[in-house]
Amino acid sequence: MNYNPQIHQPRSIRLPGLDYTQPRAYFVAICAHGRDCLFGKVADGDVVLNHLGRLAHERWTYTEIVRPEVELDEFVIMPNHLHGIITIQRSSRSVGAHARAPLPSGDALLQRPPRSLGSLIAGFKSAATKRINQSRHTPGQPVWQRNYYEHVIRGETDLNRIRQYIRDNPARWAEDIYNPTDVSRTNP
């Protein structure tokens, strides 16, 4: 069969016409490559992160430090995915002289404005992948699936509903669509 872009082009999950650089809140889900349970396990309704999960957690929280225009809200690192609320806001925060001084860790503060939610997620994935692959001695190996799920949060009711969903996610792991051991989806 010949390539037909109408058939073979993956459908974008992005809202047509929406400017993903404007200040607003998003709910994102980012899956591990192959939905492998790289980051830990769920025991008694709580997530128990392993070393790789702690590295992913560290990189997610670091996003807010190196990107002053980003505010993180509720999030959870699950065994094979991350759910989080991320807000792009107009930045008035600065670090150091003229927002150009290096951070205490020696890392430079990122100076470019956010181009899009996609660029923020790509930056997180890249940083987390580098740290995780250094830790497990697997340079160049994929850690994350190519894309991610996003939902534009449309008000306080939506925000609170999503916060609760994230908080409840570990307790619902047995029924989670990302749980590779949920046999209810494999038996029609």
The whole-number pLDDT of residue 68 equals: 85
The whole-number pLDDT of residue 128 equals: 98
**Cβ-contact 121, 85 below 8 angstroms:** no
**Could you tell me the residue range of the domain that residue 125 belongs to?**
19-172
Q: What is the mean pLDDT of residues 154-172?
A: 97
Domain-located, residue 84: yes
The whole-number pLDDT of residue 14 equals: 59
Domain-located, residue 104: yes
Question: Token match 């993903």: residue?
Answer: 20
Cα 79 from Cα 48, distance rounded (Å): 8
Domain-located, residue 186: no
The better pLDDT of the pair 82, 96 is held by 82
- Flag whether pLDDT at 9 surpasses 80: no
Domain-located, residue 180: no
pLDDT tens per residue across span 106-128: 565 554 444 578 889 999 999 99
- Max intra-chain CA distance, the chain: 61
The better pLDDT of the pair 11, 52 is held by 52
Q: How many other C-beta atoms can be found within 10 angstroms of the C-beta atom of residue 55?
A: 25
Length of the chain: 188
What is the overall mean pLDDT for the chain? 82
Share of the chain above pLDDT 70, in %: 72
* Residues contacting residue 13 through CB under 8 Å, at least 6 positions apart: 147, 149, 150
Domain-located, residue 114: yes
* Full DSSP string of the chain: ----HHHHSPPP-SPTT--TTSSEEEEEEEEBGGG---SEEEETTEEEE-HHHHHHHHHHHHHHHH-TTEEEEEEEE-SSEEEEEEEE-------SGGG-SPPTTSPPPP-SPP--HHHHHHHHHHHHHHHHHHHHT-TT---B-S--EEEE--SHHHHHHHHHHHHHTGGGGGG-TT-TT-GGGT--
Domain-located, residue 179: no
Domain-located, residue 145: yes
Q: What is the CATH number of the domain that holds 91?
A: 3.30.70.1290
pTM, 2 dp: 0.77
Domain-located, residue 177: no
Residue 40, classified by CB atoms within 10 Å of its CB into exposed (0-12), middle (13-18) or buried (19+), is buried
pLDDT band at 177 (very low <50, low <70, confident <90, very high): confident
pLDDT band at 95 (very low <50, low <70, confident <90, very high): very low
pLDDT tens per residue across span 13-39: 556 666 666 788 999 999 999 999 999
Query: How many domains, in total, are found in the chain?
Result: 1
pLDDT tens per residue across span 39-91: 999 999 999 999 999 999 999 999 999 888 899 999 999 999 999 999 998 75
